[in-house]
Amino acid sequence: MSISVIQKYFPKLDDEKLSKFIELAALYEDWNSKINVISRKDMDHFYERHVLHSLSIVKFTGFKDGSKVMDLGTGGGFPAIPLAIYYPEVHFTAADSIAKKIKVVEEISKALGLQNLTAVNGRAESVKAKFDFVLTRAVADLPQLVQWSRQLMSAKNNNAIPNGLICLKGGDLSEELKPFKKQAQVYELKSWFDEEFFETKKIVYLDL
């Protein structure tokens, strides 16, 4: 479980960001021993399977300072926490319906001093704020995600790409992509990362 895989793809990280990414592993080790938010097997590949996977969104698109981003079904805080470290001037809301997972997100965020992350225990329907982007990682299929996300979208576009839904997904997506053939854009993570884990991983983006 080495930070080197992050440095390999993000060699220009400043010292403050790098130190927070290093601290992240110990914090998750500690919390995972109390509340199982990451599988034991995955903890051995923490930086590759959780942190780098989250940061693939940076490779796909940047977020302008002042952007508002929702991580829907954040689980243990991915991709919200790594992205909040990377983008200190972007505000992230990490939402999940499972209270103990949100507790972990809150405590890790507090330990890292992340002023730009708000953790919310609740479902998408209960969130009244508006966002530039909604992010998800292995939460639900696309039709359901689109339904949840539409009401969360801000009408004003501030970034290089239009406001929308950015999903981290894996495997065969042909069925769930069918209703969105003209709308969905799919990007292969193996074009950015050469680790075997990313061979079947994708980003799906829908302009909403």
Q: Tell me: the pLDDT tens digits for 88-105? A: 999 999 999 999 999 999
Residue 138: its pLDDT value, please? Answer: 82
Residue with token string 């998750």: 28
Residue 124: its pLDDT value, please? Answer: 83
SS3 77: coil
Question: Residue 90 in contact with residue 116, Cβ under 8 Å?
Answer: yes
Residue 1: its pLDDT value, please? Answer: 62
Residue 50: its pLDDT value, please? Answer: 96
Positive or negative CA dihedral for 14, 37, 64, 159? positive
Rounded to the nearest 10°, the torsion over CA 183, 154, 126, 60 is 50
Residues 6+ positions from 28 with CB-CB distance below 8 Å? 37, 38, 43, 46, 50, 76, 108
Can you give the CATH number for the domain in which 148 is found?
3.40.50.150
Neighbour count for residue 38 (Cβ, 10 Å): 21
Q: In what order do the strands lie in the sheet with 91-96?
A: 117-121, 91-96, 68-72, 133-137, 164-170, 201-207, 184-188
Alpha carbon 4 to its chain's center:
20
Q: Which residues of the chain have pLDDT under 50?
A: none
CA distances from 50 to 100, 115, 125, 175 (A): 19, 21, 26, 26
Tokens at 60, concatenated: 């796909």
List the domain range (segments joined by +) for residue 136.
4-207
Q: What is the pTM of this model?
A: 0.96
Residue 38: its pLDDT value, please? Answer: 85
Q: How many domains does the chain have?
A: 1
DSSP percent split of the chain into helix, strand, coil, nearest 5: 45, 20, 35
CA distances from 66 to 18, 69, 158 (A): 22, 10, 9
- Going by C-alpha positions, the residue among 193, 202, 192 that lies closest to residue 170 is 202
